[in-house]
């Protein structure tokens, strides 16, 4: 191997040479990142400000930490600084590390690095708010408390503001519901919020619904569970939270928003193959137990995936009973019944030892937290992404899904669509490779959902909820981070491989191998000579004539 050094002196450059984790990145917990800053080529750097930001979706980057690195004159080495940051969302997160380079910096592209951090989740923090004590509320609270991976903060309304208790307020043991504190100060610390049969107007939640919608849009999870005070009767129609839900809620449903007739929910085609319901289907199959009524809701919002419907209610399409949706970077679930405790209690539930209840809610909460077990499609960035260069992406749909996959790649921050395409999906779950165009430096979010190919609607009826993966695309990467020439390493490579090392401008002196002469020849040999084929044809004609004569044919 011959090597050529293209430069002898380092350029005047200040750069972020590396970004490393000093441990594991865990959601809600501070962790350290180590940033190495270098200065070369005699550039007078002095004190260099360093800033770490999280690249957000449809909003400016959020500053996580700031610091300074001091570089002495004529010091070409790397200087490290450790900064403590805290991320509240699990999964792939895009971090931007930037320095304020001094004047005369010749390579500005390496003044900032984009890094993808895989943030783990130690425990799931759930805020459970219920409007009244019921069997369904009791089952939910017990399940949450028994799950060691969940930290639950539960509030139950035991009396309404209009109840007459015959005692002064200061003599009551019950504490007031801290709605203002929960939905202003402490809301970002929760991974998911469960609103179960809760009236927003009665207990002062209406003024905080905008905060709750913003929380979901920023990556939080929300489950609304049915009951006499949920959905329409809970005064959620026309509020800031309504667009975040996967089902439509109209003003007309505030008064007549509950149907008390018992029914058996029906699994949709999406529900029969959705991984989120796979644990439940493994226990009870595809036939759901009877439910004691439901809230009345409208059709599914655009982009939502309906997994269960009512057998008789609904207009042109059956009314959704269980629907999953995406809002911003967060996820929402609408469950219009308050009878899932029948998966835990009752004659049919006893046959499975009540395992169906845990299987059902484990899937819903897992999907809300983007647990890979419950994602319908995997997304892999093959070999990373370099700005200005094409990159590869692979979709891994689960077996059983047949339809059309829609892939959308959006730029974080602006929300602009950088790439969009559709590809067919086969039932065998084969990996689908895709080529992405050259992208600019920054953070991106790739999302994919599978639609029903037979659907005539546009967009196609969803067979799967959207799966999302954030990734970083930086210009140059590690190769640009440290632009100093390393002639010693090039010389060592040449010596080990038996080659020669050359300096700048010596490329014409590289010894080229002598040209190789390649001889080719083609020979053909027929199976039979021409007279052989003629004789064979005559024999076949004669045999055919004899056969016809013996059969009595002229």
Structure token digits, residue 10:
């380092």
The model's pLDDT over 440-466, given as tens digits with 9 standing for 90+, comes to: 999 999 999 998 877 666 666 778 888
Average pLDDT, the chain: 87
Predicted confidence at residue 452, as pLDDT, reads 80
Question: For residue 304, is it left (φ>0), alpha (ψ between -120 and 50) or beta?
Answer: beta
Q: What SS3 class is residue 487?
A: helix
User: Residue 299 corresponds to which tokens in the numbers above?
Assistant: 């059709």
Look-up of token digits 């005047």: 12
What tokens does 473 get?
Answer: 């695309």
491, two tokens = 């010389």
Q: Could you tell me if 483 and 39 are in contact, meaning their C-beta atoms sit under 8 angstroms apart?
A: no
Which ranges of the chain have pLDDT less than 50? 165, 167, 171-173
CB count, 10 Å around CB of 384?
13
pLDDT of res. 520: 80
Q: What is the pTM of this model?
A: 0.80
Name the residue among 212, 297, 316 with its Cα closest to residue 254. Answer: 297
DSSP class of residue 188 equals G
Nearest to 222 by CA among 202, 200, 203, 238: 200
d(CA 34, CA 21): 6
pLDDT of 203-236, one tens digit each? 888 999 999 999 999 889 999 999 999 999 999 9
Burial of 507 (0-12, 13-18, 19+ CB in 10 A): exposed
pLDDT at position 166, please? 53
Residues 6+ apart with CB under 8 A from 207: none
Alpha-carbon gap, residue 221 to 413, rounded angstroms: 21
For position 54, what pLDDT does the model report? 94
Query: Look-up: residue for tokens 């402490």?
Result: 186
Could you tell me which residues are beta bridge partners of residue 129? 155, 195
Residue 488 token pair: 């010693």
């Amino acid at each position: 191997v011959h090597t050529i050094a293209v430069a002898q002196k380092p350029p005047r450059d200040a750069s972020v040479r590396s970004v490393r984790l000093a441990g594991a990145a865990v959601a809600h917990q501070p962790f350290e990142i180590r940033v190495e800053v270098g200065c070369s080529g005699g550039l007078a750097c002095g004190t260099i400000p360093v800033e770490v930001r999280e690249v957000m979706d449809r909003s400016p980057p959020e500053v996580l930490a700031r610091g300074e690195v001091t570089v002495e004159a004529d010091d070409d080495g790397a200087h490290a600084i450790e900064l403590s940051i805290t991320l509240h969302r699990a999964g792939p997160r895009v971090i931007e590390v930037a320095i304020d380079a001094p004047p005369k910096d010749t390579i500005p592209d390496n003044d900032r690095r984009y890094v993808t951090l895989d943030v783990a989740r130690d425990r799931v923090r759930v805020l459970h708010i219920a409007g009244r004590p019921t069997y369904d509320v009791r089952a939910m609270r017990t399940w949450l408390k028994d799950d060691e991976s969940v930290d639950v903060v539960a509030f139950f309304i035991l009396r309404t503001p209009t109840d007459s208790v015959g005692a002064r307020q200061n003599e009551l043991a019950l504490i007031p519901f801290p709605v203002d504190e929960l939905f202003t100060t402490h809301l970002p610390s929760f991974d998911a919020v469960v609103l179960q049969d809760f009236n927003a107007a009665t207990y002062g939640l209406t003024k905080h619904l905008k905060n709750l919608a913003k929380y979901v849009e920023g990556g939080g999870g929300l489950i609304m569970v049915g009951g006499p005070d949920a959905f329409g009767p809970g005064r959620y129609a026309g509020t800031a939270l309504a667009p975040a839900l996967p089902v439509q809620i109209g003003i007309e449903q505030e008064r007549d928003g509950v149907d008390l007739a018992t029914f058996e929910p029906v699994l949709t085609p999406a529900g029969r193959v959705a991984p989120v319901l796979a644990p439940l289907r493994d226990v009870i199959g595809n036939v759901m137990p009877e439910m004691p009524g439901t809230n009345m809701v409208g059709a599914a919002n655009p982009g939502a995936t309906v997994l269960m419907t009512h057998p008789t209610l609904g207009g042109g399409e059956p009314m959704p009973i269980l629907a999953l949706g995406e809002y911003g970077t967060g996820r929402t679930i609408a469950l219009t019944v308050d009878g899932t405790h029948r998966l835990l209690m009752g004659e049919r539930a006893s046959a499975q030892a009540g395992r169906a209840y845990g299987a059902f809610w484990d899937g819903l909460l897992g999907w809300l937290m983007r647990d890979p077990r419950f994602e319908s499609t995997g997304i892999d960035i093959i070999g990373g992404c370099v700005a200005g260069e094409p990159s590869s992406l692979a979709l891994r749909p689960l077996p059983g899904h047949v339809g059309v996959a829609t892939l959308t790649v959006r730029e974080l921050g602006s929300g602009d669509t950088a790439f969009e395409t559709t590809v067919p999906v086969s039932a065998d779950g084969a990996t689908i490779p895709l080529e992405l165009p050259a992208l600019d430096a920054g953070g991106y979010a790739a999302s994919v959902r599978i639609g029903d190919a037979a659907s005539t609607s546009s967009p196609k009826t969803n067979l799967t909820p959207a799966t999302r993966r954030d990734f970083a695309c930086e210009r140059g990467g590690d190769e640009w981070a440290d632009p100093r020439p390393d002639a010693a390493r090039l010389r060592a490579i040449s010596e080990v491989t038996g080659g020669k090392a050359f300096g700048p401008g010596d490329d014409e002196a590289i010894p080229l191998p002598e040209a190789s002469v390649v001889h080719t020849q083609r020979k053909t040999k027929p199976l039979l000579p021409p007279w052989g084929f003629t004789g064979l044809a005559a024999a076949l004609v004669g045999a055919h004539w004899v056969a016809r004569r013996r059969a009595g044919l002229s």
